[in-house]
Amino acid sequence: MANTTYSYEFKILKVEVSEDGVAHVEVHRPEALNAYSKQTWTEIGECFEQIKRDGRVRSVVLSAAGRMFTAGLDLKEALTGPLGKKADPKEDAARRGYYHRLFILEFQDAISAIETCDKPVIAVIHGGCLGIGIDVISACDIRVASEDAYFMVKEVDIGMAADIGTLQRLPKVVGNDSWVRDVCYTARRISAKEAIAVGLLSRMLPTKNEAMDAAMETARAIASKSPVAVVSTKHLLNYSRDHSVREGLEYTALWNTLAHNSHDMATAVMASLKKKQARFPNL
Which positions from 148 through 177 interact with its own copies, judged by CB under 8 A? Answer: 155-163, 165, 167-169, 171-177
Q: Contact between 189 and its own copies (CB under 8 A)?
A: no
Q: Contact between 206 and its own copies (CB under 8 A)?
A: no
Q: Contact between 212 and its own copies (CB under 8 A)?
A: no
Contact mark string toward its own copies, 229..258, x via CB under 8 A: xxxxxx-xx--xxxxxxx-xxxxxxxxxxx
Among 187, 193, 194, 210, binds its own copies (CB under 8 A): 187
Look at residues 157, 160, 44, 201 and name the one whose alpha carbon lies nearest to residue 107: 44
> Which contiguous run of DSSP H or E holds residue 238?
helix 227-241
Opening angle at CA 149, ends 144 and 152, nearest 5: 105
> Which contiguous run of DSSP H or E holds residue 254?
helix 245-259
Structural contact between residues 105 and 97, judged by C-beta atoms closer than 8 angstroms: no
End-to-end C-alpha distance for the chain, whole angstroms: 12
- CA separation for the pair 229, 131 (Å, rounded): 34
- CA separation for the pair 146, 188 (Å, rounded): 19
Q: Report helix angle 177-186 to 166-173, nearest 10.
A: 140
Q: Contact between 7 and its own copies (CB under 8 A)?
A: no
- For the bound state, the minimum distance from the C-beta of residue 123 to its own copies, rounded and expressed in Å, comes to 9
Site for its own copies in 31-90 (CB under 8 A): 52-53, 55, 59, 75, 79, 83-84, 87, 89
Among 14, 100, 191, 194, binds its own copies (CB under 8 A): 100
**8-state DSSP, 34:** T
- Looking at beta carbons only, is 65 or 238 nearer to its own copies? 238
- For the bound state, the minimum distance from the C-beta of residue 53 to its own copies, rounded and expressed in Å, comes to 7
- For the bound state, the minimum distance from the C-beta of residue 279 to its own copies, rounded and expressed in Å, comes to 12
Per rule CB under 8 A, count of chain residues that contact its own copies: 112
- Looking at beta carbons only, is 26 or 264 nearer to its own copies? 264
Among 200, 204, 214, 216, binds its own copies (CB under 8 A): 200
Round the CA-based radius of gyration of the chain to a whole number and report it. 20
Q: Contact between 133 and its own copies (CB under 8 A)?
A: no
